[in-house]
Amino acid sequence: MQREITKPSNLLNKKGQLIQKGYAKAPILKYRRKHVAAKHRLKEWDYYLIYNKKYAVGLTIGKSLNLILITISIIDLSKYKIINKSSIRILPSKFQLPQDSRKGNIIYKDRFIRLSFMVEDNVRILLLKKYKCNKSSELDISLILYNEPKDSMVIATPFFNDKCKFYYNRKIIGFRASGYVRYQKENYGFSPLDSFAIHDWGRGVWPYKSTWYWSAAAGKISGKIFAFNLGYGFGDNSYATENMLFYNGKASKLENVTFHIPKKSKDEYDYLKPWTITSSDHRIEMIFIPIIDRTFRLPLLLISTNQHQVFGKFSGRAILDDGTVIYLKEFLGFAERVQNRW
């Protein structure tokens, strides 16, 4: 069942429970931090991915209680090179992330990092500088995202056995992007002719341990922008899934999807062998050929993450709501499996 939310409302009632459950194509549910029941378990994040055929860069800021996690990933797809940087900070409670994915700025500064994610007239401006101990610049990022698609993936997901747990998420797939990333002596350029971007905005209260599967991609097919968002494993998806196709900015809704990831053994995946991705409604069937596996592990006492974000090329077909068949051939994107404790 796919329950579409079409009427605006608050996200949560006074008890901290979801008022409406399902998916939407725009952020019409109003998230307010004061309505969250279990504020000590609240987690919030903003993630941006910018990529073209040569490079990809991922920027994350996540917050839980007074802890923030900043991660930066640079992936050189041609040289098979990955750079991961992460930093955890303890901050005063007054530092907050925006309550609306359409507006509000994130600005963070300390001796070693200056970060800002700004929204101005539907344009996203991402700036980051990271300094060494001698105050020389180690990393310089300046990116602009524009041409936001008309539709996006929005979902309000409940969790089993606890009405005060929820996951509110918006994913915008298919911005155009321009700018640069400079790391040490390397320069990574992003031209709007072939560069795309994704914004993953998440707010919620969910179990301490979680595993999710996510895949997304954007590019041009027949002169128009085609994109997709696929994911599962997180919460009670009986009301809706987050699976959508986007063609020329318009969304088409899919049922459940499955990532068929090869295994080396019973308990170990072989992420660099070809995957297959299928859907229960038979509207998407793809083979995913990996290029590089961006692995990231953060094993701390109470907080940990084990990420396998695999960049590669998709080939197959996808069927829009109107029956149009989109054929994909070596369509660049990513698919991931992530385990978290936080």
Given a cut of 80, whether residue 339 has pLDDT beyond it is yes
Mean pLDDT of the residues in the chain: 95
Q: CB of 117 within 8 A of CB of 106?
A: yes
Tens of pLDDT along 264-285? 998 899 999 999 999 999 999 9
The owner of tokens 């640069």 is 180
Residue 315 in domain: yes
List, as one string, the DSSP characters of 10-46: ESB-TTS-BSS-EEESS--EE--GGG-S-GGGEEEEE
Sequence-distant (6+) residues with CB within 8 A of 270 are 261, 262, 263, 264
Asked if residue 147 is part of any domain, the answer here is yes
For residue 304, is it within any domain?
Answer: yes
The model's pLDDT over 125-183, given as tens digits with 9 standing for 90+, comes to 999 998 776 666 789 999 999 999 999 999 999 999 899 999 999 999 999 999 999 99
Domain count, the chain: 1
pLDDT (tens digit per residue) in 53-65 = 999 999 999 999 8
Indicate whether 204 pLDDT > 90. Answer: yes
Please report whether residue 4 resides in a domain: no
Q: Is residue 33 part of a domain?
A: yes
Taking only the tens place, the pLDDT of each residue in 177-203 is: 999 999 988 999 999 999 999 999 999
User: In this structure, are residues 256 and 238 in contact, taking their beta carbons and an 8 Å threshold?
Assistant: no
Sorted by sequence, the CB contacts under 8 Å of residue 139 that are 6+ apart come out as 72, 85, 128, 129, 130, 181, 182, 183, 184
237 occurs within a structural domain: yes
H helix intervals, 217-323: none
Q: What is the pLDDT of residues 14-70, one digit of tens each?
A: 999 999 999 999 999 999 999 999 999 999 999 999 999 999 999 999 999 888 999
**Structural domain includes residue 1:** no
What CA–CA distance (Å, rounded) separates 4 from 296? Answer: 35
Q: Is residue 3 part of a domain?
A: no
Q: How confident is the model at residue 342 (pLDDT cuts 50, 70, 90)?
A: confident
pLDDT score at 122: 86
Q: What is the pLDDT of residue 158?
A: 97
Q: Residue 134: its pLDDT value, please?
A: 61
For residue 60, list its beta bridge partners: 47, 71
Least confidently predicted of 81-85, 110-114, 136-140 = 136-140
Residue 73, domain extent: 9-341
pLDDT at position 247 over 80: yes
